[in-house]
């Protein structure tokens, strides 16, 4: 099976292309810059520059699936008005280019499925009960960004393409940018609770992030939103304890919420926002998590760190 991945040089994209290649699939990465990040056995890199057309359009014509991971990192600081526009444009322009390419293809030449990345920020603050895929969405900047991104991808449904919107939590992996940032205070012996500590933190191990993408790829009954999140959301204070234990460091310090807001402004939502996410659809479809518990995921990712 031929799979085209747009934006395949990031954490999930790299792990996903390796898994697909190891399973014997042909993998084509659509990338703005070719290099070591996109070159590996069984993988081809093709330059693209959305919204401009190019050779990449022909790669989609005979693909079985398209996976869209393209989008600028939300972790880049600070969130100026210009940066917010970059976050939006990088997602919508790439997705729109893919949809236009699909539209131009004859019906029989279109891929059967489009897997489109999204985020669990759509559930921010909706945490009275664990948020499944049918939970009403929030209205924050990140929630609107995700929903607009999803709406653009969902246009492919009208073309006869199955669309899955993978709402992904913070990924736990040894090289995950999020984990590097949140673990740094513990290595400096000043880690601990952030804000009230009552905000919910949802997460997913990299092995399960990849596993759920592959599960969505292969399971034809799955469409629409799919929560890529472990069935173990924690309060921030409980997450802090688990992280301290995995790093063998104390976690007694407290960072006041006002200090986080003063430093990060709107971006403080990444640390103080509450996301209590439940993978309802994945569990109902029979997906078995490889690392369903936070302690196990952290210990695996941080083994040998000190």
Q: Using one digit for the tens of pLDDT, what is the confidence trace for 83-116?
A: 999 999 999 999 999 999 999 999 889 999 999 9
Q: Which residues of 126-160 are buried (b: 16+ CB within 10 A; e: fewer)?
A: bbeebbbbebebbebbbbebbbebbebbbbbeeee
Tell me yes or no: is domain 2-171+205-229 CATH 3.30.70.2700: no
CA distance 208 to 110: 28
Reported as a single tens digit per residue, the pLDDT across 15-30 is: 999 999 999 999 999 9
Buried b (16+ CB within 10 A) or exposed e, 194-209: bbebebbbbbbbbbbb
Q: What is the pLDDT of residues 200-239, one digit of tens each?
A: 999 999 999 999 999 999 999 999 999 999 999 999 999 9
What percent of the chain lies above the pLDDT cut of 90? 75
How far from 64 is each of 7, 28, 77, 156, CA to CA, in Å? 17, 11, 37, 14
In tens, the pLDDT along 140-173 reads 999 999 999 999 999 999 999 999 999 999 999 9
Identify the pLDDT of residue 62. Answer: 86
- Please report, for the chain, the start and end positions of each structural domain, with discontinuous segments joined by +: 2-171+205-229
Q: What is the pTM of this model?
A: 0.94
Q: What is the mean pLDDT of residues 44-61?
A: 86
User: Mean pLDDT in the chain?
Assistant: 92
- Taking the C-alpha atoms of residue 298 and residue 242, their distance in angstroms, rounded to an integer, is 8
């Amino acid at each position: 099976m031929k799979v085209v991945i747009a934006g395949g040089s990031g954490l999930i994209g790299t792990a996903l292309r390796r898994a697909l290649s190891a399973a014997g699939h042909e993998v084509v990465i659509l990338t703005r810059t070719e290099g070591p990040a996109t070159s590996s056995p069984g993988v081809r890199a093709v330059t693209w520059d959305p919204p401009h057309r190019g050779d990449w359009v022909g790669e989609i014509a005979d693909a079985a699936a398209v996976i869209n991971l393209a989008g600028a990192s939300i972790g880049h600081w600070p969130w100026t008005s210009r940066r917010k526009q970059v976050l939006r444009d990088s997602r919508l322009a790439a997705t729109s280019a893919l949809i236009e390419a699909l539209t131009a293809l004859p019906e029989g030449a279109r891929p059967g499925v489009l897997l489109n990345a999204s985020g669990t920020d759509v559930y921010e603050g909706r945490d009275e009960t664990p948020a499944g895929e049918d939970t009403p969405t929030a209205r924050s900047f990140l929630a609107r960004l995700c929903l607009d991104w999803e709406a653009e991808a969902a246009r492919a449904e009208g073309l006869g393409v199955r669309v899955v919107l993978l709402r992904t939590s913070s990924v736990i992996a040894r090289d995950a940018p999020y984990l590097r940032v949140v673990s740094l205070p513990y290595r400096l012996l000043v880690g601990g609770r952030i804000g009230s500590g009552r905000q919910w933190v949802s997460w997913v191990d990299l092995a399960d992030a990849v596993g759920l993408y592959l599960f969505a790829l292969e399971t034809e009954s799955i469409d629409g939103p799919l929560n890529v999140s472990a069935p173990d959301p924690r309060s921030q204070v409980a997450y802090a304890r688990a992280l301290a234990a995995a790093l063998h460091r104390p976690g007694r310090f407290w960072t006041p919420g006002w200090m986080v807001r003063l430093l990060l402004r709107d971006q403080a939502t990444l640390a103080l926002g509450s996301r209590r996410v439940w993978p309802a659809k994945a569990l109902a479809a029979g997906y078995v998590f490889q690392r369903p518990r936070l302690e196990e995921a952290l210990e695996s990712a941080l083994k040998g760190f000190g």
